[in-house]
Structure 1
Amino acid sequence: MAALGVGYDLAATTFSTDGRLFQVEYAGKAADNSGLVCALRVENGIVFAAEKLMHSDLLVPSWGKRIFTINDKIAIAISGLLPDARQLVTRARDEAANYKSQYGRVIPVSVLGDRLSLFMQMYTMYAAARPFGCSILLGGVTDGKPELFLIEPSGLKRGCYGMAVGKGKSKQEARNKVETLVDTLPTMDIQRGVIESAKIVLCLHDEDEDRHMELEVSALAADMDHAVFTAEQTEQITNLARGELDAEE
């Protein structure tokens, strides 16, 4: 790619001769260089599971979270560069607060997705800017209905039943596993969804490549505000998921 991109990857506004934007592709590679993040849209809510890679024993385990609360009914899970992630989370919270102030109601998940995707796409249009090195899984509940969206570094937004982003090879394998659950997701409850999302992340974690890993899990529903599970709850979920994985082998 380096040879193909020479001269065409100096600005996000420059198309190559075959119509590619190399800086947008590089941003996608940055999003693929972090831990695996998975989200499922179940019958009554959304569940998230994230693989937080700890590259040093000196790091505090709770550092560098990948799942963020936007408001009580909307959350974001992000793979990619954490500084970019925090900028997007701040933008999402501002958009949600402004909508509530202007219209007197909670922002619909799809509307927030549109605004975030336009914000990310704007950073692919100017030579003085660069695309965000993040992929976003935006999930929430609007009028009692769960919704899940994938937003890519290019600004493309897609609605999903379930999705995984993050580590390149593991990402595709995780998506294949999510596809096997599509038929059961509409009737799956939150508790089952949490276990299934944890199983997807845990079974694809490569302990030889990334020795230190912390699982992060959260959920939200129409009758439950978004909450990230505590360390004790996550340990219980991990033990249940590993037990089921061992039984399936």
Structure 2
Amino acid sequence: MARRYDGRTTIFSPEGRLYQVEYAMEAISHAGMAIGILSSEGVVLAAEKKTTSKLLEQRSHEKLYKLNDYMAIAVAGLDADANTLIHYCRNQAHSYTLTYNEPIPCEQLVQRMCDLKQGYTQYGGLRPFGVSFLYAGHDKHYGYQLYHSDPSGNYSGWKATCIGANTANATALLKQDYVENCSLKEAISLAVKVLAKTMDSASIGADKLEFGTLSAQADGKIIYRAYTAREIEKLLADEDVKKILEEKEKDS
């Protein structure tokens, strides 16, 4: 039945489904996992990097990106689609600041991005963007915020969520262990444990993970900080994380 209705993004099936959008979401389900956790002191973004070759030189982050001084983004899906949308999002934020002389509210920037994504699901000759995002942000209206958007153009606010592969297991762990208004340190620890339990690889190192936090400095300025390989290795040296990895190695 699907083959009769999946040739165009503008054709609904009799069940009211857009198959091209569902195919885009399926592509995302095979990407490396990304996790976002909201705390009272900031937002944590963590992601699994899937290295295609040892010969490939990684000079930049491939899963976590800084949008501006108060927003960052985690990606799951097609890198080329992500680069196009990230460039658009940065331009929108910069244009708003030049026009109104103040930072764009986080939700408004997310909505602009989703308006573009939704447009690619309703015009002929286009295909949906095969990428989902987690947005970590802060503004004067709602403080720290975490949003998720998908190829259909839908977006929603979350306390903790994930995108990419193995999301069912990761979501179950987040529901079980997440504590509302937790500290930034507790949120980082939870993100590490969830990745350690749900990643397909039994051995996890700094070369397979990316970490970043959006939080306030001592002077109150909000900044996004990407973790170095050495800092990630320190997170993985936690005793609880070591036990999880040892159990995975035994099971495999």
TM-score by length of 2: 0.89
What percent identity do the matched residue pairs reach?
Answer: 29
2:134: which partner in 1?
137
1:100: which partner in 2?
97
Map Cα deviations across residues 199-231 of structure 1 (whole Å, 9 max, x no partner).
1112111127x9996100000114340011011
How far 1:244 sits from its partner (Å)?
A: 6.1
Q: 1:86 aligns with which of 83, 87, 90?
A: 83
Q: How many pairs does the alignment contain?
A: 242
Q: 1:232 aligns with which of 208, 219, 230?
A: 230
Map Cα deviations across residues 60-102 of structure 1 (whole Å, 9 max, x no partner).
3555610000011100101000001111111110111011111
Give runs of aligned pairs for residues 64-213 of structure 1, distance below 5 A. Answer: 65-143=62-140, 145-167=143-165, 170-182=166-178, 184-186=179-181, 188-207=182-201
How far 1:247 sits from its partner (Å)?
A: 9.5
Give the distance between the partners of 2:105 and 2:34, measured in 1 at CA: 23
Gaps of 5+ in 2: none
Contact 1:47 1:190 in 2 (8 A): yes
Kindly indicate whether residue 42 of structure 2 is the aligned counterpart of residue 45 of structure 1.
Answer: yes
1:55: which partner in 2?
52
1:32: which partner in 2?
29
Contact 2:207 2:229 in 1 (8 A): no
Map Cα deviations across residues 151-200 of structure 1 (whole Å, 9 max, x no partner).
01100011101110001xx1111111111234x131x1212211211211
Give the distance between the partners of 1:62 and 1:232, measured in 2 at CA: 16
Gaps of 5+ in 1: none
Give the distance between the partners of 1:61 and 1:94, measured in 2 at CA: 25
Contact 2:161 2:171 in 1 (8 A): yes
Give the distance between the partners of 1:154 and 1:131, measured in 2 at CA: 7
**Cα RMSD for the two superposed structures:** 2.4
Contact 2:196 2:245 in 1 (8 A): no
Contact 1:123 1:132 in 2 (8 A): yes
Give the distance between the partners of 2:95 and 2:211, measured in 1 at CA: 28
